[in-house]
Amino acid sequence: MTEMQRASKHTWLRLVRRLLGLIPRWLLAAAALSLATACTTGSNDLVPRKDMVGAPISAVGHYGSMIGVPEFYLNGRSGGTASGWGGGGATVCCMLLPRKVTGPVMVKVNWTTCDISDIKFVNGRAVDPSQKCKEEEHEETVPVNFAVQPGEGGSGLFVHFLPGNHVEVWYSTRFPEASGYPGPVFPRGPAPDYAPLPDKTPQRDTSSK
C-alpha cells in the first residue's frame, strides 16, 4: 500500500467514525436488529442453503483510547472497523452459520491494530500531522460461542477485540451493551490508554441471563 493510499484510508476511516458518532446508539441498535432479521430470514439470494443462516457482523473494542482496529476479517470476509473502546452498533452483512450447531464452529480472525500512543496531540490534533500510527497485523482462530442456535434467531455475530491482542466471537440474542449479555462486559466510561496492551482476563456479566 502506497503512502497516498494509506493516508486516504485513514482519512476515510476518520470520516466514517465521525459520522457514526452523530447517530444515536438506539438508532444503530435498531438498524442492527433490522439487518439481523433480514439476514436470518432473508431471501434465497442472501442465504441459498436452507441449513444455513446469515449473521450480521459487529465489533466491540476493549483496547482503550490509544489503539483502534482499522480493519478486520472473519474467514477472509471483511467485518469493517472497530473502535478501540466500545462499539457494537455498526454492522456488516453477513457471515453464514449453520442453522443448528452440533459441534465447534471455528473462525479465523485477521485484524490490524493502529497504536497512536507515540503521537503527541494538542487540543485533539496531532502536533506532527505527518506522523502515522503504528500498525500491527494479528491472526487468531477461535470458536464461535453460541448463546442460542442461529436457526432460533439472534442479534448477530459480535467480535470482541481484547487486551493482549486476543479475540472472542459470540452469537447472542442480546447486544453487547445489554444486561445479561453472555460475552465480555461492554466497555463503559472514560477509555483507559492501554498502550502497550496488558494481557488480562475480560470481565463477565454475572447478572441473570
Q: Is residue 179 assigned to a domain?
A: no
Q: Is residue 189 assigned to a domain?
A: no
Q: Is residue 204 assigned to a domain?
A: no
Residue 37 has what pLDDT?
44
Q: Is residue 163 assigned to a domain?
A: yes
Q: What is the pLDDT along the chain (209 residues), one digit of tens a residue?
A: 444 334 434 443 443 344 334 334 443 444 444 444 445 444 344 556 789 999 999 999 999 999 999 999 999 999 999 999 998 656 888 899 999 999 999 999 999 999 999 998 888 788 888 889 999 999 999 999 999 999 998 999 999 999 999 999 999 999 999 999 999 999 999 999 888 888 877 667 766 44
The identity of residue 109, as a single letter, is V
Residue 88 has what pLDDT?
63
Which residue range is the domain that position 96 belongs to? 3-172
- Give 80's contacts (C-beta < 8 A, 6+ positions apart): 57, 59, 71, 72, 90, 91, 92
Total number of domains constituting the chain: 1
Q: Is residue 59 assigned to a domain?
A: yes
**DSSP helix/strand/coil, 148:** coil
**Cα–Cα dist 46/44, whole Å:** 5
Q: What is the pTM of this model?
A: 0.76
Q: Is residue 23 assigned to a domain?
A: yes
Q: Is residue 200 assigned to a domain?
A: no
Residue 8 has what pLDDT?
37
Residue 198 has what pLDDT?
82
- Beta carbons of 159 and 74 less than 8 angstroms apart: yes
